[in-house]
Structure 1
Amino acid sequence: MRVPVKLFGFIFWLFSLNCAQCQECLQKNITYENIEPVASASYNDGETVKVNCMTGYTGMYRLKCEKGKWNTVAERPCAKKKCSQPGDTANGDFKLIVGSEFVFGATVLYTCKEGFEMTSRINQRTCRAQGWDNTLPVCEAVKCSAIRTDGGVTASGNTDEGSYGDVIHFECVSTDKKIDGSSDIHCTERGEWSDSVPTCKEITCTAPDILNGNVDEEMQEYQKDAILKYRCFKGFKLREGIPRCSKFGWTLKPECDEITCDLKSTTYGIEKITPEGKTIFRAGESLEITCAEKYWILFTKEITKSFKCQDDGKWDYEPVCQDIRCEVPYDQHVSSPYSYFSGDMKFGAKKMYSCMSGYDQMAAEATCTRDGWTPKPLCVVKMCAAPNIKNAKIVGEHRPKYNINSRIQYKCHPGFEPEQPVQIICNPQTEWTGILQCTENCGLPPKVNFADTTNMTKNEYNSGEKVEYSCFYKYTLNQHHPYSKYLTCEQGQWRGKIKCLRPCSVTVEEMDKRGIKLKWGKQENKFPPHNDKISFECQAGKHFNGNGNDLRQTCNDGVMNLPQCVLKAQGE
């Protein structure tokens, strides 16, 4: 019995030991990247551990062992430390040769720009845990050797020791010589001068090849200040200026320029150009321009015109369209023309105006047209038309119109009055003043009933003369319109009306027949004139047969209505 009991106890202890081990967490089970190993190989259940990142990395993990497994309590994944910008070096550049950003382990390589060289031993920097290692590299300019010249050449610039980009300028001491070689050299990126030091030689020039021209009296060499004479082929012209031989060669490049004329304006005021689209014309070539409605050719007042490019490179006329403008009509007899015609005077402009004294205005306003101001003329001198006087003839020269204040004479035909010449004047209102009509003479005045002339002294009367008439005894002259006591000679005829009003005849027999008698005066025959009144009364034993008792009657051109009296009735 004792042996089995001991065996059982050993088995129990072994099982307990294995169960305890199965609760531990092992170091090898921590598998994060870029971390430092933890201190122990295993940790008991419930223990925590801090896991640090490797050098050059930032971050950490905090883990807890729970039932044989690591649980993360806190974590900041390990990442490479960042470095600032590595720094720029003067006259140099850098680029990343390891890595793609400025973090732990990245490396940059420095190079110098053209003309500069690296004076530092180390030309790269690497991002470490504490930042960039090494110092900034230094680039210095490449050097060139000192310049030495002979006594005839002077040099300006840094001749003792040139740096990259330095320029040395050379000139001859004598003004009669010129540099033979380069007058300017520079220090190159290789530390060498771009050319050798020049010398001086006598100033001479050679005849150039001239396109479209020839040199006159060509020489092998031309001395200083010599003038080059040359001529150009037809259609070409000498370049402006005189070429002289100088230390820099010819002062002016002798060239022959083609003679051309430029068409500067192709749109303003232009309706059509022939040929279309061409703006440069050789000598002898032509074009035609047609201006638009409100424009005309400059200085010509033409709408369409041809232009020719001449041998001197100028147009025979300027090929430009300009606005149609009308000028101030100083010669049109306008009153104060500058006051009326100012401001806009382009095509279509309208202006009010008035004319000088002695001239008639032809329209209320003037209009600017291609032909100038219309109407034409604006003002016309006031004139009188030739007078048309019936039965007369102008004395002297006969014209269709006469100026103001003109004086002319006319004479009536024979048998017409007046007999003497008549002078008439054209007044400022264009009317003839002083006209007398030529009228025929009148013969003897006509007979008038119950009348006779009072002053007839001749057998023929002139126009305008009058003859007076008087009525016979007891007849009364009617002088109320249209009657008068005169007849007038007018253009060979007697004009006027004369009327003698008749008296009335009242006989005794007629009065007895009507039972009336004169109220006053003798009872005898009565001849009262026109408009006279006579008072009657009834004879004895008779009374008036009518209304009222007024028996007065008026003579009316030989007619008088006599009243009627009848016998009184018995007892009246």
Structure 2
Amino acid sequence: EARPREHKKLNQPLIAPVMHLHFRHVPILSVLQETTGRFFENQANYQCESGYQMVGSSVFICQANRPKCVPTKCPEPPLAENQLVLREVTYQVGVVQFSCKEGYVLHGSSVLKCLPSQQWNDSFPFCKVVQCPAPPYIPFGDPLTSSLHFGSTVKYICVDGFLLKGESTIRCQADGSWSLPLPECIPVECPQPEEIQNGIVDVQGLTFLSTALYTCKPGFELVGNTTILCGEDGQWLGGRPACKPIQCPRPKKILNGKYSFTNFHYGQTVRYSCDRGFQLQGEETLRCLETGEWSTEVPSCKAINCQPPQPIENGFVEGADYSYGAMVIYSCVPGFQLSGLAMQTCEESGWSSSTPACLPTDCGLHSAMQLTTFLFGTIILYTCYSGYELLGNPVLACQEDGAWNGTAPTCVSIECTLLSPPENGFLHFTENTLGSTVQYTCKPGFTLVGSNTRLCLPSRQWSNTAPYCKAVTCNSPTQLMNGNIRGENYTYGSVVYYECNPGYQLNGPTERRCQENQKWVCTLQISFSKVRNSLAEEEMGFWQ
């Protein structure tokens, strides 16, 4: 501090004011020598304490700047090279403290002091990277790592059949320990297998390599794998199977017959029947079994033949054809009269009636004539019941010699002539007496023209004219675009052929046959699916 003051000796002010300096305590400065005066241009000598060096002049002159002391400077520590962190120690000049960056451990002295000689009192420390121990063991897992130092990671993988739960990696921390939590290897568990329609699944387990077995209910067969396997990723291997209905193959067609069906699945039936005049040999119904086979062999249709007619005593049988629709005629030798039906027809169940018999002819008077005496001249008039005709003299007279003038007549049944069956048809009757009827039918593929019944009249003639069987005719087949049809006969059993114009190819059957239902049907053997698509009338029907 300096302030002007009066000069005591001159007792007058100076031209230049005198500055009076008051020395204050200057830390870290040590006064080597101080003048007795504190006036302008007085001098004071300074020196630094141990550990400090002088910056500036050591002589302090009043009205001049005083010197100052700064810490002694030592070489820079190799911080980056040794991963060191430097921190000055508070209130301790020239003293520094070393530490390491995260993940490193200090080796050497942590505190150094800079000496007046501008050297450190000890060698520099260094930092060494932290090393973690071997990775922890986890059951059923393996660690994968290339280094164990700070910041490195370990990845865990699980053995087959186990899945990793948690983070797959852990990290080496600055304190030399591994980060937590550790992952776990838990057994693979597959979800519950899917159910399948019309099937059953038998689960043997849900862990790795466990199996599940699929089976189908009766009437269904498995499509796909019967066994699936729980894989290492927790998914079932082998795919989901399915149960489809068991289907039997298409039954064989039979000659002179047909079969009806709904479908060919398990449990369904096929019913066979024969054309008229044929009889089924074998089982009528076939059932589709769960093995995909039919329950029995396909039947056959055999032409109906009746057994030879039984011979009759005192009579004989006419007719050598015993096939379906054929007739035989019974008659008696003279003196015998037939009891029963004279004509019999071979039908599906056999002959149309029981065998007749030949009984002795009774030529006595009619039971209605119960007279006790016949006087001379008595005349008897014979008449027959309806349906019978008198054969002989209808009048007898009692003569004078007590004998009748002739033999008594007989009444014989009125019979119409025997009829023949129409061509391609059948004749059904039991007898040809007055009032009896006959019935006409036609073979498959033919239709009857005329009345189907005729009556035996008293005139011994049959009523109506004889009908005949006319072949069924199909409608003209649909014309083929870009093609033509060969065949002009459209009656039952006839075939027409389809052909394409040059440059076109036929798509479908090449020929069709006229059926008894007056419809055209394919005669080539094609797949059932195609038949269902192109012949809608065949569905829920029969195949011929």
Q: Give TM-score scaled by structure 2 length.
A: 0.28
- The structure whose RCO (Cα within 8 Å, separation 6+) is larger is 2
Bigger helix fraction: 1
